[in-house]
Amino acid sequence: MRSSRHRAIIGFILSIALPFSAGCAVQNQSANVIEEPALRSISPFPIGSSIRYLPFQKDLRLQSLQKLHFSSYTAGSDMKMHQVMPMENSFDFSVVDSIVQHTEDYEQRLFGHNLIWHSSTPTWVKNKAKKNPEWLASFMREYIHEYVGRYRGKVHGWDVVNEGLKTAGSGYRTDSIWYETLGPQYIEMAFRYAHEADPDAVLFYNDFNLERDLDKFESMMSMVGDFQSREVPISGIGFQMHIRMDIPNSIIAETLKRAADTGLQIHLSEVDIIFNTHDDSRGGGIQRFDTLTPEMRVAQKKKYYDLVTIYRKVVPESQQYGITFWGFNDRDTWIRRFFDMQDWPTIYDDNLAPKPAFWGVVEALN
């Protein structure tokens, strides 16, 4: 028997579904024939998706969709520290070089995700920093100078620091080798080093739940305000925007507007929209829905429409760095792997066919 909370969630979804039709497309199921409109051709700002490069190279259908729809490319994990420097004194730029070539071939903007992130810091870096804390600051400078400098003029922008604030509530994330060793100033240091390496790159602070955790949002705004007052070279704020269907549009609009009031670039950097929920930890999925119903598909279409419309309305055009989907199909979504739950958070389904959510994005862009 369904709980009252479960019934309430279903009621919410049905209530927002009513004004919207599901939408449909003529879809040729042969391997590489795509008949839906290209998002990049109708979007007034860069439209992107994250891609895991090696699996991408083996899937012709995925390649066709990525080339058709997206004018911006974000690497899923290929550009993180544990991938480009798995061992001490040993950079591995082979995959990143291939990504650069791909984006140049297909006239896509390359966005660098990311430079400093607690979860992608290699074990060898953590171990060495614990033994020799003074080493970490010099390592950060050398790493960023070498990495960003190598791709100067090729990587348009970077998530310089990712998720430097607490998972929930106010304050910095303290369970990080960067914070433990260098204190909160490590974030400022990373921005200064990145700017030294490429003065023209657009430099972002990127985090999740900024659109709905108001304490966390205020911490981010205080940090950004401090940086701006002291001319720390921050150029943008990345809202990951991994959201649930029940996050109120009014809260999303308010936080985006206040962030835009800083004058910085605003990037919706990792967009997906889930029906179920989780506790923000690996394996922490809470399965409330086991099946994607037609009504849920229509409701998700409206939520995608609303999100894109809010972005266009409250963020000035000159500050619209773009919208990036964190993966764009349910088959490959990180949500299922990380949270160990079934969900359908993206604009394409498991068969790589456009969902109603895709058409919600199209309608909002048009």
The phi and psi torsions of 78 (rounded to 5 degrees) equal -65, -20
163 labelled catalytic: yes
Q: Name the H helices within the chain.
A: 4-17, 39-42, 53-57, 60-69, 81-84, 94-105, 123-131, 133-150, 177-182, 185-197, 214-229, 249-260, 294-314, 334-339, 356-365
What token pair was written down for 147?
């990495």
Cis peptide before 114 (omega within 30 of 0): yes
Give the CA angle between residues 75, 79, 84 to the nearest 5°. Answer: 150
* Residue 114 neighbours by CB under 8 Å, 6+ apart: 79, 80, 120, 158, 159, 160, 161, 162, 206
Cβ atoms of residues 256 and 311 within 8 Å: yes
Q: Which of 104, 180, 218, 270 is catalytic?
A: 270
180 labelled catalytic: no
Interatomic CA distance for residues 41 and 30, integer angstroms: 23
Cβ atoms of residues 359 and 23 within 8 Å: yes
Q: Which of 163, 196, 218, 231 is catalytic?
A: 163
* Residue 107 neighbours by CB under 8 Å, 6+ apart: 71
Interatomic CA distance for residues 304 and 311, integer angstroms: 11
Cβ atoms of residues 85 and 122 within 8 Å: yes
The phi and psi torsions of 248 (rounded to 5 degrees) equal -65, 135
What token pair was written down for 104?
């140049």
Q: Residues with catalytic annotation?
A: 163, 270
